[in-house]
Amino acid sequence: MPATSPPVSTPSTHRCRLWLSLAAGLAIGLASELAVGLASEPASASSFPAAAAMPLWFVEQRPRVAAYQAVNLLGAAAQEGLEAGDYNAEWLRAAIESAGRGSPLTEDSLSRLDQALTSAMRRYLTDLHAGQVDPQALGARYSPAATWGFAPDDLLASAIADGRLVEAVRGVAPALQQYTGLREALARYRELVSHPAWQKSLPSLPAGKLFPGQKYGGIAALGERLRLLGDLPAGTALPVAYEGALVAGVKSFQERHAIRPDGVIAKDTYEQLDVPPATRVRQLELALERLRWTPLLQAPRAIVVNLPEFMLTAYELRDGRIQTGVEMKVIVGTARKNQTPLFDAEMRFIEFSPYWNVPPSIARGETLPRLRRDPGYFARQGFEFVGSDGRVSGGFSEGALEAVQRGQMRIRQRPGAGNALGDIKFVFPNEDNIYLHHTPSVQLFNRARRDFSHGCIRVEAPVALAKFVLANEAEWTEERIVQAMRRGKSSTIRLQEGLPVILAYSTALVRNGRVHFFPDIYGQDRLLDDALRQRSNALRASHESEIAARLTD
């Protein structure tokens, strides 16, 4: 995968616009100089011989139909959440159109133009297939996306020869219903970017909140936004006050924006209603980028936790289509200091009635101070001390506390109703010691925002998840699973087959044809946005410097 480019200063756009306007109207006699200027990426020239024996995009010194198709694809990169400027799309279009209208190019000019278009298409295909940035550079430890059989140059050559370039490029993007849904949502929100409905903020709310039945001076503006966003049916007659269909539309909007759908427009709902469509466009672009490098569909069954959504989805592939096995709410690491990391791993074990080995950081930062203030907390929580030799002591002592502080002992919690892990633990070994587990604090699942843990992921429906995980092991019936969870004696089973677990991050998703947006709880959208902008700035600076060099030749 391409690595994130280093930050660069934003280049002047005036010179680029000037040259693009000049390029579009160049005389036929300057066509060769235009083509020379297309070698806008220093790395591209080294990727090809100085003079290709058989041009890919030309026949008898004229552009093939595929050349025009290619520049159209590059020019429409925004439809895929990509930037046309990253591929020098306008420049290439002007060059191909000029070459098609004018006198034949020199052999050298034709070769350079051919190379430049191939280089741009190679980058486009790679970006579309595997993403523009390396997730590892952003702290996401994902396994490399499956790219077996993906060779951009071979794909281009065969697609051009067979006259199916457009179809071949369409097949490069992730074959996911979610990708298609996000792409369609992106097109809809792009249409709203310049809509006058968002040129002014909504009128202020009376007393800071708007309840059903109240009068409101922004009824017309609110109704128009809800209609444009698809939360209010077209043609709905607006009431005089905030009531009826308008309240239903707000509830729909709240449900799509991770807000409790109570119909009350408070600060959170008001702020989301005022988010401009351009901001949503960027969220959708970032979601498409993540889908390109998140390792989905590499196994017939998998578990995906989308952290900003606070949801777990277990799915399986049947006849090439994704079928959801189970969905449930989850609780993830706190945004402030215990963020759940992003990675994928293979679930290998289930532990019933588990012990909870209190992590040293939690023991020193929270448990030991609590025990020093309240020694009775030790017995109430079912704690015990475990020495480095494995010996267990159920008695409380100051000496043992000091040993834990020094790292010579640890604290663990015995299985039971109050165990922090609940009665089941799903283990997928990883360097962060993150796992899925139940919890006795089930009331927290009723919260809209659920980042309360130290990093591990608490699941709302552990029996349903265990049934999915053990679906291929007939002896593990629901009755047996429940018995093992309630036994109160710790036991661990190894799965017959490993099951992929993916901790993902997307603040935009399409569910049942409706796009949902979630808060960027860990600031990951900001990181990805910065990385993509830095990369685009570097690419465009390279394009401009090459153009400037050609103009001064």
Q: What is the DSSP string of 228-241?
A: HTTSS-TTPPPPSS
Q: Which is nearest to 177 in space by CA: 345, 296, 343, 300?
A: 296
Q: Are residues 266 and 331 part of one domain?
A: no
Q: Which is nearest to 210 in space by CA: 263, 251, 258, 260?
A: 263
Find the mean pLDDT for residues 322-332: 93
Structure tokens belonging to residue 81: 């959440």
What share of the chain has pLDDT > 70, as a percent? 88
Containing structural domain, residue 439: 296-514
At residue 319, the pLDDT reads 76
Structure tokens belonging to residue 381: 């929580």
pLDDT class of 548 with cuts at 50, 70, 90:
low
Q: Are residues 209 and 106 part of one domain?
A: no
Q: Are residues 421 and 322 part of one domain?
A: yes
Whether residue 303 lies inside any domain: the answer is yes
- Report how far residue 49's alpha carbon sits from residue 111's, in angstroms, rounded to the nearest whole number: 9
Q: Are residues 225 and 259 part of one domain?
A: yes
Whether residue 390 lies inside any domain: the answer is yes
Whether residue 4 lies inside any domain: the answer is no
Q: Are residues 328 and 466 part of one domain?
A: yes
At residue 53, the pLDDT reads 58
- Give tens-digit pLDDT for 65-114: 999 999 999 999 999 999 999 999 999 999 999 999 988 888 888 999 99
Q: Are residues 127 and 149 part of one domain?
A: yes
**pLDDT surpassing 90 at residue 346:** yes
Q: Are residues 304 and 204 part of one domain?
A: no
**pLDDT surpassing 80 at residue 455:** yes
Q: Which is nearest to 40 in space by CA: 138, 133, 112?
A: 112
Whether residue 376 lies inside any domain: the answer is yes
**pLDDT surpassing 70 at residue 307:** yes
Q: Are residues 486 and 540 part of one domain?
A: no
Total domains present in the chain: 3
Q: Are residues 414 and 307 part of one domain?
A: yes
At residue 7, the pLDDT reads 35
Whether residue 6 lies inside any domain: the answer is no
Residue type, 384: E
Residue 209's domain is classified under what CATH number?
A: 1.10.101.10
At residue 417, the pLDDT reads 80
At residue 48, the pLDDT reads 39
The 10 Å CB-count burial string (b at 16+, else e) for 243-257 is eeebbbbbbbbbebb
**pLDDT surpassing 80 at residue 119:** yes
- Report how far residue 436's alpha carbon sits from residue 432's, in angstroms, rounded to the nearest whole number: 13
3-state secondary structure of 154: helix
Q: Are residues 349 and 429 part of one domain?
A: yes
Q: Are residues 351 and 206 part of one domain?
A: no
Whether residue 461 lies inside any domain: the answer is yes
At residue 549, the pLDDT reads 59
Q: Which is nearest to 93 in space by CA: 41, 155, 20, 169?
A: 20
Whether residue 353 lies inside any domain: the answer is yes
Q: Which of 221, 240, 275 is the last residue of a domain?
A: 275
3-state secondary structure of 326: strand
Q: Are residues 480 and 367 part of one domain?
A: yes
Find the mean pLDDT for residues 296-309: 92
- Report how far residue 458's alpha carbon sits from residue 439's, in angstroms, rounded to the nearest whole number: 6
Whether residue 7 lies inside any domain: the answer is no
Residue 504's domain is classified under what CATH number?
A: 2.40.440.10
**pLDDT surpassing 50 at residue 39:** no
